[in-house]
Structure 1
């Protein structure tokens, strides 16, 4: 038996297959272009494993429809990526592979990977944020995703602008929401260069840390999770996390007692593999219960 994983990101798709122990056998990535082109490459990747494939886990950029009783379940819905708007993702994959498909957001998948195998392992709850091209958040409590009428869109929470920041933000919907001011494109537009090109002491990092600290503050007071994990490309600048911890401590001002910050605000133990392992685990669980 082989399980499949599709991490459907706004920039690239990462496809993997693994054995029953979730040991990865092969992995490939493809640029996210049009559904016809990208899904064609995805199908080509899984084709040679079709005889043994028993389930696929998909973590997709969104927004997506997660409600099984909805006529558009399995669709990417109102995404800014025009070619993918109202695309029947699950239905299209099922045309080629008649196996159970677990369907969730890309950040939920990463959250699940970290919850099972990374910095959330052994804990009852975890919140995962990806800080990259966009900002998304996923929360897990006692093994269940926090969802209601839809999945959370925590990356678009409203935050207070830093007193030194007059940047209007890049979010086409909300301007200076969290994604609008702290995502990779926001850093580049504000600073005139990409985050990885900025010096550690560049003043822009004070702004980003302040916004991510507000994110952690809001999450702490709303959900009280056991751990908050910050992943994504922006967090690969290792110095950012320490700046976030400092700003978070100031914002919280000892209002509530939280776990030791070195274990409470962390980056992913699985690094870029969190989403892959989350999708594979979801594929296995979904197949076992189908």
Structure 2
């Protein structure tokens, strides 16, 4: 007896918009939609309607992957797997999008952070192909990172929050942090909002003094990632990284920070820090997660 055709669903949730893509078994896109991040109940209604409208006659949903903004519980062993923690986004604190979609769609749903999903996609399809371990860092409105080892993302009690790792301030740098929690974290000093203050309308490639500070702090971050995780490559993406030739400067600062310590041997093969390759890595990662869910026993998804 021939099995009914199935579709895979990838969803990426962000602070301002939700993206949903439905593909068939061949990878062909059946629909892709974007809509604002409103209340979770309205988001679920829109997602369910979009997905059901895209289903071919007789088809079923094989799996759903959600690349979520955080903080969110991503430990599959937790009874609260999928629950959103405190967030300024109205109505989302305590909401469990994964459970809501499972209930409404009657399908296997898995969830991970948006940056972990992007790391997964870069490892499988992008700049990290061929390496068994990669760290992915995005530098945009915030700074986030994920580690993939042999096709699995790192998850502990929660998920990595590398944007809040502290850095040593450069001499003379008295700019206030834009992070309301930390005075000296890398996100508060080098992410988009911090750079907007530092640049005052100028571009990063026009301001060598700001560029030097950015490379200093991101180099310190890269050194911390290498020492803590020892990935074969560090992949960097996000809006800030669109400035040309930042990566070699960041890598040079990282090596200066490591000071020829033994662990620096991991970075001997240059370039060690490489540019992200995928335009929609989070959504691509969500679809990889959906495929994994489709190949698993739905009853074991949360085991």
User: Normalising by structure 2, what TM-score?
Assistant: 0.87
Query: Could you say if the C-alpha distance between residues 82 and 279 of structure 1 is closer, same or farther in structure 2, counting changes exceeding 3 Å?
Result: same
Is the 1:109–1:279 Cα contact (8 Å) retained in structure 2?
Answer: yes
286, 299, 302: which one aligns with 1:279: 286
Distance 2:44 2:189 in 1: 32
Tell me if structure 1 keeps the 8 A contact 2:62–2:293: no
Aligned twin of 2:39: 34
- Compute the TM-score of the two structures, normalised by the length of structure 1: 0.91
Identify the match of residue 221 of structure 1 among 221, 227, 230. Answer: 227
1:105 Cα deviation from its structure 2 partner: 0.4
Given the alignment, which residue of 139, 153, 160 partners 1:145? Answer: 153
The alpha-carbon distance between structure 1 residues 124 and 93, as it changes in their structure 2 partners (threshold 3 A), is same
Secondary structure in 1 matching 2:62 = strand
Structure 2 residue matching 1:85: 3-state secondary structure: coil
Rg (Cα) greater in structure = 2
Which residue of structure 1 lines up, in the alignment, with residue 210 of structure 2? 204
Cα gap change, 1:11 to 1:176, in 2 (>3 Å): farther
Structure 1: how far apart are the matches of 2:140 and 2:124? 23
Instruction: Extract unaligned runs of 5+ from structure 2.
Output: 1-5, 298-303
| SS of residue paired to 1:285 | helix
Secondary structure (helix, strand or coil) at the match of 2:80 reads coil
- Correspondence list, 1:53-72, <5 A: 53-72=61-80
Task: Give 5+ residue unaligned stretches, structure 1.
Answer: none
Q: Retained in 2: the 8 A contact 1:167–1:176? A: no
CA separation in 1, counterparts of 2:197 and 2:23?
A: 39
1:119 pairs with one of 105, 117, 127: 127
Determine if the alignment matches structure 1 residue 188 to structure 2 residue 196: yes
Runs of 4+ in structure 1 over 4 Å off = none
The reply to whether residue 5 of structure 1 matches residue 13 of structure 2 is: no
Q: Residue 15 of structure 1: CA displacement? A: 1.3
Aligned-pair RMSD on alpha carbons?
A: 1.9
